[in-house]
Amino acid sequence: METQWHKLVLLPLLLMAVLLNFSHQNTRAQDVEFWRTTVETAARECPQLTCAELWLLPAQGPITVQTTVEGDAVSDITTWLEIVHPLLGTTGYVNLSEAEQYTPEDWQTYPVLPVVSDTAREIYQKGLEMGNDPTHFSVVGDCQNVEWFFLGVFDRPDEYALGQFDYLQPTIDHFAGSWSRRAATVDNGYNVASVLSAMWADPKKCQAGETPLDCEFRVHRPSIVLISMETWWNDQPADEYETYLRQIVEFWISNGAVPILATKADNLEGDNGINQAIVRVANDYDIPLWNFWLAVQPLPLHGLTIDHFHLTFARNFFDDPDRLRNAWPVRNLTALQAIDVVWKGVQVEE
Amino acid sequence: MPNFKSTTRGMMKKQILLLMLLVMGIVLAACAEEAKDADPADSVEKYLKAMVEKNEQDFNAVICENFQETAKTNFDSFGSVDASLKDVKCTASDKTDDSATVTCTGFISVVYQGENTRDLPQEGPVYQMVNDDDTWKICGIEQ
């Protein structure tokens, strides 16, 4: 009888605890339907075949569906999906015959832009107390992070246009100088191990025995650090990449700089093992994640050139939708947005 | 009546055994002398060469156990590039039977996607060497 009573009370409590935990862990994915295109197609202005094509969509490109409407028949299907442009927020229509629901891997469901946690705010505040500069950010990265292509334009006003993203200008102004500066932790050929090795520190900038990380921290004292490492050994497992990435993250956290981890556009390793590792590390340390992989999925060829590694190029005029069909302007825009979100998110109201 | 034949045979056996021991002793002494004469600088050059050629076996042969973590990071840092030694020459100093220090000159030339991106200078690091079972191994680096 006593056992029965326990069961009656404890079982609902246990169930409630499980449900609460589930809802906490899955705030990204709960009640969200994931859709993608099945063929290369275009989003139209209205659900009729005579309507103008607004933007092109690659096959297997994720789409954000708002609702369904009726329209012209394609392959006898008259249902159309009302979708939203991932960057511009404009509405378009795709016939249901050209799309499907699917179940993405967990790491693929994280939003492009970071969510700022209390942990990130604590790291930032600790950094300010340690003397880090609130107007400085740093980059840790390889060839896709060299300032000539990545972020440097934001210190050269003639080379970019924000268009509808002009709310980002105060962030550009706040971090002036950091955009076009070559960090000691960025170079062609760097990987997650290079920035931890004193062999690679530039003797013109760095002191004897410093790693590129030590050097960058001493010279620039950033309050935010964007970490974006694409390349790794062809034949070494992603868990070794992850071990080094954790050391980099721990270095910055211990020095009071908020790390933002970036996923990569390519899948040269074949099983997306590196992106999975990056998301795992971001979760474990409760730090911001910029899911750049997701940002390029709607682009033609998923933003990659024929070598499946380099990004498709266009200049950074975000008021031109055609340019935003290429990965480099999307990389710069979403990186800027990520820094903006984190910078604003870590501020503690007095 | 003593058996001279078997006594002579026994003496000969002993003499042969002694001779063999003598030869073995000479060989071992020569080997030990050779190890003592080995140049610790050769191990550092082997370490750098194995690193740029991504030869993990040769690399591991010249590092101490307590230096493995740092050494592995250095080794893995070359994973995304092609590299070669440029005029690298290492020199030993403070050499005793058990320890030595080594410094080098020259560069590691780094090529990424066909373009020479950097030359990593090799002056500066002082390699701490230990004679481990007649092999000179790197047990630390001081700057």
Residues A197 and B73: beta-carbon distance below 8 Å: yes
CATH 3.40.50.1110 assigned to domain A108-345? The reply is yes
Question: Which among A193, A208, A236 has the least Cβ separation from residue B77?
Answer: A193
- Per the listing, tokens 């999925």 go with A297
Q: Token digits for B26?
A: 């000479």
pLDDT bracket for residue A26 (50, 70, 90): very low
Choosing among B52, B72, B73, B143, which should be mutated to test the A contact, i.e. which has the most A CBs within 10 A?
B73
Domains A35-103 and A108-345 share a fold: no
d(CA A335, CA A341) in angstroms, rounded, equals 10
Task: Please name the residue of chain B whose CA is at the shortest distance from the CA of residue A240.
Answer: B76
Each residue of A51-97: pLDDT tens digit? 999 999 999 999 999 999 999 999 999 999 999 998 889 999 999 99
d(CA A337, CA B1) in angstroms, rounded, equals 110
Neighbours of A56 (CB within 10 A): 15
Lowest mean pLDDT among A179-188, A227-236, B36-45, B90-99: A227-236
Closest Cα partner for A319 from A163, A106, A133? A163
**A244–B143 C-beta distance less than 8 A:** no
Q: Token digits for B117?
A: 């991106």
Q: Does residue B23 register a pLDDT over 90? A: no
Task: Please name the residue of chain B whose CA is at the shortest distance from the CA of residue A231.
Answer: B80
Question: Which among A189, A193, A236 has the least Cβ separation from residue B117?
Answer: A189
**A193–B76 C-beta distance less than 8 A:** yes
Lowest mean pLDDT among A101-110, A126-135, B9-18: B9-18
- Of chain B, the percentage scoring pLDDT greater than 70 comes to 81
**A193–B120 C-beta distance less than 8 A:** no
In chain B, what residues touch A215 (CB-CB under 8 Å)?
none
pLDDT bracket for residue B27 (50, 70, 90): low
Each residue of A210-266: pLDDT tens digit? 999 999 999 999 999 999 998 887 778 899 999 999 999 999 999 999 999 999 999
- Of chain A, the percentage scoring pLDDT greater than 90 comes to 86
pLDDT at residue B20, rounded to an integer? 72
pLDDT at residue B114, rounded to an integer? 84
**A196–B79 C-beta distance less than 8 A:** no
d(CA B69, CA B71) in angstroms, rounded, equals 5
pLDDT bracket for residue B14 (50, 70, 90): confident
**B121–A203 C-beta distance less than 8 A:** yes
pLDDT at residue A247, rounded to an integer? 98
d(CA A2, CA A195) in angstroms, rounded, equals 62
**B115–A194 C-beta distance less than 8 A:** no
- Mean pLDDT across A305-312: 94
Beta-bridge partners for A160 = A316
**A200–B80 C-beta distance less than 8 A:** no
Interface of B with A in 2-61 (CB under 8 A): none
Domain spans of chain A? 35-103, 108-345
**B120–A231 C-beta distance less than 8 A:** no
pLDDT bracket for residue A151 (50, 70, 90): very high
Q: Does residue A23 register a pLDDT over 50? A: no
Choosing among A194, A204, A242, which should be mutated to test the B contact, i.e. which has the most B CBs within 10 A?
A194
CATH of domain A35-103: 2.30.30
Rounded to two decimals, the ipTM of the complex is 0.85
Average pLDDT taken over every residue of chain A = 91
Domain spans of chain B? 1-37, 39-142
Is B84's Cβ below 8 Å from some Cβ in A? no
**A209–B76 C-beta distance less than 8 A:** no
Alpha-carbon distances of A262 from A9, A29, A57, A139, rounded to whole Å: 45, 20, 23, 11
Is B80's Cβ below 8 Å from some Cβ in A? yes
Closest Cα partner for A298 from A323, A279, A325? A325
Residues A275 and A293: beta-carbon distance below 8 Å: yes
Each residue of B106-143: pLDDT tens digit? 999 999 988 878 899 999 999 999 999 889 999 999 98
Lowest mean pLDDT among A173-187, B17-31, B50-64: B17-31
In chain B, what residues touch A190 (CB-CB under 8 Å)?
80
Secondary structure (DSSP) of A67-135: EEEEEEEETTEEEEEEEE-TTT--EEEEEGGGEEE----GGGGS-SS----HHHHHHHHHHHHHT-EEE
Record: fold of B39-142: Nuclear Transport Factor 2; Chain: A, (3.10.450)
Residues A229 and A192: beta-carbon distance below 8 Å: yes
